[in-house]
């Protein structure tokens, strides 16, 4: 479901944490690995809509020692009083810090035991309303990484359009992969294993290709640049050169906001992503023109990236069935709409 009602640009999923399961909203994030929730005692917590998880109330909560193998898999593990400590910071300056634990999660009707999760005692950032984050990235500690053989690194989701009040879907396992999708190869970056990179060869406006060099989107040998698919980012980011050419092709639509108040209908050109290997993903207007107030102001849901990294965000993914086949290295678009 969209986190809009909680004041968030993220998408949430309802997950039971612990035994007995306590229902919590968690952010669906395909751009990071660690699964975590805010935990009592909370030294520093942002506001969430469910009561903060208390490990003392869960029969299945087990702390992880510093010497355990799972602690070794953390990128910047620490040790405090014999317990494995984790900390993760995100691109927007948000962070979570706390201890690692093994816990039971209930997803739909499925119970997953002994999952390594972060118990966050110091958390800050853009997670408003959610209790934590469900990392679905490509690394070994993500939710799909830990399920491993059970899912084959496969999952699919449908993010419903914001403000509809409807709920989308999130499914795991090879059986969830649809027939008839347009498949695009994933690109591996050994320096950033949690990111799902795709080869983007160009952008189009109204069926015409924007004159941007394919090199702008390429992942280089040092692991810089490239294009990442990320449900945890709302607005798509493009390198400044590409962003400006793209924006200018849209007749300087937005730096870019328009007042469309009083218009019954507005003709807007489509926007297309051209992927290396053939498929073209063409987006309807509501995947790139978003209302920002009640007075008819719409803004362009693209922004320049200060680095060379491009991110295809969740606004551009709305309404499209998206599947990841992590084991075979593909992402699929369609065939269904949400």
Catalytic residue among 29, 33, 50, 325: 29
Query: Which is nearest to 86 in space by CA: 75, 39, 145, 94?
Result: 75
Distances (CA, A) of 204 to 140, 208, 213, 266, 310: 36, 5, 13, 19, 16
Cβ atoms < 10 Å from Cβ of 48: 21
Following DSSP, what letter does each residue of 80-130 receive, concatenated?
ETTEEEEEEE-TTS-EEEEEEEEEEEEETTEEEEEEEEEEEEEEESS-TB-
Residue 236 in contact with residue 225, Cβ under 8 Å?
no
Four-residue CA torsion sign, 314, 319, 325, 329: negative
180's tokens: 């008839």
What is d(CA 258, CA 30) in angstroms, rounded to the nearest whole number?
Answer: 31
Does the active-site annotation cover 33? no
Query: CB–CB of 35/143 below 8 Å?
Result: yes
The yes-or-no answer on residue 215 being catalytic is no
- Dihedral, CA of residue 174, residue 190, residue 9 and residue 151, to nearest 10: 10
* Longest distance between any two alpha carbons in the chain, whole Å: 64
- Cα separation of 220 and 296, whole Å? 42
Distance of CA 231 to the CA centre of its chain: 2
Which among 167, 137, 323, 99 has a CA at the least distance from the CA of 233? 137
Q: Cα-flanking dihedrals φ and ψ of residue 160, to 5°?
A: -75, 155
Which one is catalytic: 33, 50, 230, 325? Answer: 230
Contact between residue 290 and residue 298 where contact means Cβ atoms under 8 Å apart = yes
Catalytic residue list: 29, 230
């Amino acid at each position: 479901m969209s986190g809009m009602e909680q004041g968030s640009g993220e998408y949430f999923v309802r997950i039971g944490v612990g035994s007995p399961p306590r229902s919590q909203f968690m952010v669906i994030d395909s751009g990071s690995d660690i699964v975590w929730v805010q935990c009592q005692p909370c030294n520093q917590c942002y506001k969430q809509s469910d009561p903060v998880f208390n490990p003392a109330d869960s029969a299945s909560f087990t702390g992880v020692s510093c010497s355990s193998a799972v602690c070794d898999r953390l990128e910047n593990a620490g040790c405090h009083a014999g317990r494995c400590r984790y900390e993760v910071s995100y691109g927007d300056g948000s962070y979570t810090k706390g201890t690692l634990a093994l816990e039971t999660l209930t997803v739909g009707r499925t119970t997953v035991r002994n999952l390594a999760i972060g118990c966050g005692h110091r958390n800050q950032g853009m997670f408003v309303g959610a209790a934590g984050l469900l990392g679905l990235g490509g690394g070994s500690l993500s939710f799909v990484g830990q399920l491993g053989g059970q899912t084959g690194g496969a999952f699919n989701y449908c993010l419903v359009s914001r403000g509809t009040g409807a709920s989308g879907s999130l499914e795991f396992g090879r059986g969830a992969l649809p027939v008839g999708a347009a498949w695009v190869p994933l690109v591996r970056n050994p320096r950033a294993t949690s990111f799902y990179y795709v080869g983007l060869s160009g952008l189009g406006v109204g069926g015409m290709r924007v004159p941007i060099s394919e090199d702008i989107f390429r992942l280089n040998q040092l692991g810089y640049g490239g294009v990442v698919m990320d449900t945890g980012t709302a607005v798509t980011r493009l390198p400044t050169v590409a962003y400006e050419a793209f924006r200018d092709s849209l007749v300087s639509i937005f730096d870019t906001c328009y007042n469309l108040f009083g218009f019954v209908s507005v003709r807007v050109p489509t926007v297309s992503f051209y992927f290396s290997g053939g498929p073209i993903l063409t987006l309807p207007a509501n995947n790139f023109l978003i209302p920002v107030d009640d007075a008819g102001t719409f803004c362009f849901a693209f922004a320049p990236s200060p680095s060379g990294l491009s991110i295809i965000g969740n606004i551009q993914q709305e309404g499209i069935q998206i599947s990841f086949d992590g084991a075979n290295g593909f992402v699929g678009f369609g065939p269904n709409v949400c």
